[in-house]
A and B are shown apart, each in its own frame.
Chain A
Amino acid sequence: MSKNFLEIQNVTFAASEKNKVNNVTFNIEKEGEIICLLGPSGIGKTTILRTIAGLEKVQSGKIILKDKVISSSNFHMEPEKRNIALSFQENCLFPHCNVVDNIKFGAERNKDKWLNFSVQDLIDLLHLNEIQKKYPHEISAGEAQRVSLARSLMSKPDLLLLDEPFSNIDQSLKEELQLKIKKILNEVNISTIIVTHDSYEAFYMANKCGIILDTSLKQFDVPYNIYHFPKSVEVVNFLKRGILVEAEVTGETTLQSEDLGTIIGNFIEKKPIGSIVRLLIQPEDLYHDDKSNLKLEVVDKKFRGTNFIYTLKTINNQFIPVFVHSHHKHQHKIKDKFGIKKPVFIDHLVCF
């Protein structure tokens, strides 16, 4: 008997022949954990949620919730029996009910289960006060998403599934809501799977993240590891938070690169001396130093408020992003030479 709250064992998720994710395995270990599934649009993330909810059948493998098999190739529990709530990306509110009644619809289920939020609390928390008497066709897509979320929460499910819950919500409100919802989910201790294509959102919300690329789950780990120790080139490319630079392994802790000279650090995975590898360089890995003789040309500069991101061109025409604090006293223009501190020290070396 397993100890995990939810187990997805070797499941192939498919809505159609084209839209397929093969052999997925991951677990939610404890009740209350938040999982984010991250991947580009159209990869089949929604299908995964629909299958877990019971709206689609599995082709192979098993889904086990609280020690009970709910889906397998020869068994299918009906969605209404699963106690799993899914909040759809598109508007799926009941058109004949206003906002409050829609949320109350959710509260009909599991009436005896205690929840430390009332319908009114959720309305306040999610800023739905002004629209509570309105009907679904009178509210915006973002508002509908919040109502749908509140409705799903009120049904007190064992497992909550959220499909791009913040996709129609504007940036400033999004951050506030992410904070609140994370807090609510932690307080009510409802296990949640969130699907998103926004890596920041996933890293913030999740206890664990899954990266889905090209019909399979590429990596499933805590957000820190996903970011710092990506397991494959595809994951690096998907996260778009670094580039790969060719280098030769010259010692236990050193590499030599034509672009950046000597690089020192700790290898995550041992590589034989003399082998040519592709080293992951992330924007925070390089430090600016005006006095350094390693000078690269600035090709682009983005102001991000707290910092600048300079894009530098190496002699091999690689474009490397570098963070610089925005209070840095002097600015560099495009086509200027930009010094990089030598030798380059990177705490952990991720090579492919």
Chain B
Amino acid sequence: MEIRRPNIWYISSFFVSLLVFLPILTVFFSFFEVTTDYFSLLKNTFLLKYISNSILLLVGVLFLTFLFGVGAAYYVSFYDFPGVNFFKWALILSFAVPAYIYAYSLTAFFENYGTAFSILTFLFGPYEYNSFIPKVDGLFGSIISISFSLFGYVYVLTRASFYYQSQNLIDVGKNLGLSSKKNFLKIILPSARPAIIAGLSLVAMETLSDFGTVSFFSISTLTTAIYNAWITFDDLAFANQLSFILLLFILFLFIIENYSRGRAKYHTPTKGGIKTKKKIKLNGYKSFYAISFCGILFFCSFLFPVFQMLFWTIKFPKYLQNLNAWDLGFNTIVLVVLSCILMIILSFIANYGSRITKSKFLDILTTFSISGYAIPGIILAVAFITLVSYLDNLFFINFKSMFIGSILGLVVAYFVRFFALSCNGIKSGYLKINRSIDESAYLLGYSKFKTFTKVHIPYLKNSVFLISILIAVEIIKELPITLILRPFNFETFATTAYIYASQDLLEAAAAPSLFLISIASLFILFVSKYILTED
């Protein structure tokens, strides 16, 4: 059924896209606004430093995540060694540890008289160990923290690509006389390249967006500069100008990511389904390498921060007693539930609308509206405040009190940031429902609405579940948006941990961090099957 005139679907899809697009527009227009002298001062002094720090951070993180992600994906996809099935999913637990919490753990372990010091004292007796223990902080610490918390993206996408790679491809390589090393370098790796690049560009976007880690280690990057311009100098316009520079970087990465992901699609399996790959069994010292690589990666990325936080929570029980875990948990649940409901309803509207109207224009709008995930949370928050202030002046309605420092504002900002997750999730579910299935339902006498409730909803309920969990994990970990837009005295585990840590009370940050990691891990385990694309 072609519906040509603009109707409810057009209008609502248009509204959704506009909502996501407005913050970007705000940033763009603010760039040309007059700011305080601080900008010219900074331009001549620190701006280059900010940019170069951001780039250094990016290069370091990309190198490490490539190494960790591709290495781990290669071992678990092509080899059989003791524990391979455990590592396969254990490695995705790193998604549960936000980089800023990893940074707290690193500091807690390596600082003067920290956990490392305690361990050495316990093992070898009292001594002045501080001078032996390396200090992992600053730029190096940031790179380590971010890499361990983000390598999962590269791991998951590369592994999926290896998983769908045809066994025939590998067999042909062998048949042509390539050694297994050459096979890997000449066939396996190049054909997984789109997936690897897609993973790395996601990592890059997240790295450039990172705020918690770099601010904890006092590294001046573009994100911390935006935050400081706004908080310290109360200069929104300047914050937006910095955002503009950062967005240019992100835009570039977004284009790369989209391009690679489009190409990565061509890896879908042939009609006969996926042949289980014959894994090469590793024995002796070879299996030792594989186990060590995966084991150390799992330990560093997940067990280390968990143990460190657990250790401190036990060591300083008074902070746990002071922690109002119920309230924090409740606040988190409120945010998650409201955001999920909003996002999923709007995703259904956007997808169903473009499905039944068959409109190219709506398709393009939907594509625009998912660009939100590329916008760093900090930019979004600042742009959001700017936008609301504009509207406040324009309409004489008190938008500010409605959106700034309110749960409504938070939910809307989350929506802009994470809409891509839910919209794409519902979309890929819809792609599996053939159009003739809708038509069959009509021909059996079902109206469009009944087709939606009786056919689409039951079929997509798994997708909705999966999406809700993924949104939940993201919101639980989210820091800058929550920090800036939350109502007064409204805390989540993330903000509590951040505030304690920024007050140099790392011991107190341990308990909320531990709660955060546990909840996120639980959620990730729920959906591990989907993340590993083995459903």
Tell me whether B269 is interfacial, beta carbon within 8 Å. Answer: no
Given the complex of chains A and B, what is the CA–CA distance between A110 and B439 in angstroms?
18
A-B contact pairs, 14 of them (CB 8 A): A50-B439, A53-B439, A55-B439, A55-B443, A79-B1, A80-B443, A93-B440, A94-B437, A95-B432, A105-B444, A108-B444, A151-B444, A155-B443, A155-B444
* CB 8 Å contact bits of B420-453 with A (1 = contact, 0 = none): 0000000000001110110111111111100000
Given the complex of chains A and B, what is the CA–CA distance between A60 and B328 in angstroms?
66
Which of A84-92, A178-186, A194-202, A304-312 participates in binding chain B? A84-92
Given the complex of chains A and B, what is the CA–CA distance between A97 and B456 in angstroms?
11
Q: Which residues of B contact A289 (CB under 8 A)?
A: none
Tell me whether A148 is interfacial, beta carbon within 8 Å. Answer: yes
In the complex, the chain B residue whose C-beta lies closest to that of A94 is B455
Q: How many A-B residue pairs have CB under 8 A?
A: 71
Q: Which residues of B contact A92 (CB under 8 A)?
A: 434, 436-437, 439-440
Tell me whether B458 is interfacial, beta carbon within 8 Å. Answer: yes
> Nearest-CB distance from A305 to chain B (Å)?
33
CB pair A80–B442 under 8 Å, yes or no, is: yes
Q: Which residues of B contact A84 (CB under 8 A)?
A: 443
Tell me whether B459 is interfacial, beta carbon within 8 Å. Answer: yes
CB pair B443–A95 under 8 Å, yes or no, is: no
CB pair B459–A53 under 8 Å, yes or no, is: no
* CB 8 Å contact bits of A78-115 with B (1 = contact, 0 = none): 11101111101011111111000000011011100000
Beyond A86-B443, A108-B445, A110-B445, 18 extra complex contacts between A and B, CB < 8 Å: A50-B439, A54-B442, A55-B1, A78-B1, A78-B442, A79-B439, A79-B443, A82-B443, A83-B445, A85-B444, A88-B440, A92-B439, A94-B437, A94-B440, A96-B455, A108-B444, A148-B440, A155-B445
Residues of chain A touching chain B, judged by Cβ–Cβ distance below 8 Å, are: 50, 53-55, 78-80, 82-86, 88, 90-97, 105-106, 108-110, 148, 151-152, 155
CB pair B436–A85 under 8 Å, yes or no, is: no
Q: Which residues of B contact A86 (CB under 8 A)?
A: 439-440, 443
Interface centre among A91, A92, A97, A148 (most CB of B within 10 A): A92
Interface majority SS (helix, strand, loop, mixed), chain B: helix
Query: Which residue of B444, B448, B455, B458 contacts A106 across the interface (Cβ within 8 Å)?
Result: B444
> Nearest-CB distance from B418 to chain A (Å)?
26
Given the complex of chains A and B, what is the CA–CA distance between A251 and B225 in angstroms?
105
Q: Which residues of B contact A79 (CB under 8 A)?
A: 1, 439, 442-443
Interchain residue pairs A-B with the least CB separation, the first 5: A92-B436, A96-B459, A109-B445, A79-B442, A92-B440
Query: Which residue of B433, B443, B447, B455 contacts A53 across the interface (Cβ within 8 Å)?
Result: B443
CB pair A93–B437 under 8 Å, yes or no, is: yes
Given the complex of chains A and B, what is the CA–CA distance between A148 and B443 in angstroms?
12
> Nearest-CB distance from A93 to chain B (Å)?
7
Given A94-B455, A94-B459: A85 and B434 interface contact (C-beta under 8 Å): no
CB pair A90–B434 under 8 Å, yes or no, is: yes
> Nearest-CB distance from A165 to chain B (Å)?
14
User: Which residues from 1 to 41 on chain B have a C-beta closer than 8 Å to any C-beta of chain A?
Assistant: 1
> Nearest-CB distance from B443 to chain A (Å)?
5
Q: How large is the interface on B (under 10, 10 to 19, 20 to 34, 35 or more residues)?
A: 10 to 19
Q: Which residues of A contact B434 (CB under 8 A)?
A: 90-92
* CB 8 Å contact bits of B446-471 with A (1 = contact, 0 = none): 11100000010011000000000000
Query: Which residue of B437, B446, B455 contacts A80 across the interface (Cβ within 8 Å)?
Result: B446
* CB 8 Å contact bits of B389-432 with A (1 = contact, 0 = none): 00000000000000000000000000000000000000000001
Given the complex of chains A and B, what is the CA–CA distance between A148 and B444 in angstroms?
11
Given the complex of chains A and B, what is the CA–CA distance between A199 and B532 in angstroms?
50
Given the complex of chains A and B, what is the CA–CA distance between A300 and B445 in angstroms?
54
Query: Which residue of A80, A91, A106, A110 contacts B447 across the interface (Cβ within 8 Å)?
Result: A80
Query: Which residue of B439, B442, B445, B459 contacts A95 across the interface (Cβ within 8 Å)?
Result: B459
CB pair A88–B439 under 8 Å, yes or no, is: yes
Q: Which residues of A contact B446 (CB under 8 A)?
A: 80
Given the complex of chains A and B, what is the CA–CA distance between A90 and B440 in angstroms?
11
In the complex, the chain A residue whose C-beta lies closest to that of B435 is A92
Q: Which residues of A contact B459 (CB under 8 A)?
A: 94-96
CB pair A95–B437 under 8 Å, yes or no, is: yes
In the complex, the chain A residue whose C-beta lies closest to that of B458 is A96
Given the complex of chains A and B, what is the CA–CA distance between A155 and B446 in angstroms?
11
Given the complex of chains A and B, what is the CA–CA distance between A189 and B469 in angstroms?
52
Q: Which residues of B contact A96 (CB under 8 A)?
A: 455, 458-459
In the complex, the chain A residue whose C-beta lies closest to that of B448 is A80
Given the complex of chains A and B, what is the CA–CA distance between A96 and B436 in angstroms?
15
Given the complex of chains A and B, what is the CA–CA distance between A15 and B445 in angstroms?
23
Given the complex of chains A and B, what is the CA–CA distance between A276 and B204 in angstroms?
82
Given the complex of chains A and B, what is the CA–CA distance between A94 and B436 in angstroms?
10
Q: Which residues of A contact B448 (CB under 8 A)?
A: 80
Given the complex of chains A and B, what is the CA–CA distance between A85 and B441 in angstroms?
10
Q: Which residues of B contact A106 (CB under 8 A)?
A: 444
Given the complex of chains A and B, what is the CA–CA distance between A176 and B370 in angstroms?
53
Q: Which residues of A contact B442 (CB under 8 A)?
A: 54-55, 78-80
Q: Which residues of B contact A54 (CB under 8 A)?
A: 442-443
Q: Which residues of A contact B445 (CB under 8 A)?
A: 80, 83, 108-110, 155
CB pair B440–A109 under 8 Å, yes or no, is: no
Q: Which residues of B contact A50 (CB under 8 A)?
A: 439
In the complex, the chain B residue whose C-beta lies closest to that of A96 is B459
Given the complex of chains A and B, what is the CA–CA distance between A109 and B35 in angstroms?
68
> Nearest-CB distance from A109 to chain B (Å)?
4
Given the complex of chains A and B, what is the CA–CA distance between A278 and B292 in angstroms?
85
> Nearest-CB distance from B169 to chain A (Å)?
25
Q: Which residues of A contact B440 (CB under 8 A)?
A: 86, 88, 92-94, 148, 151
Q: Which residues of B contact A82 (CB under 8 A)?
A: 443
> Nearest-CB distance from B236 to chain A (Å)?
49
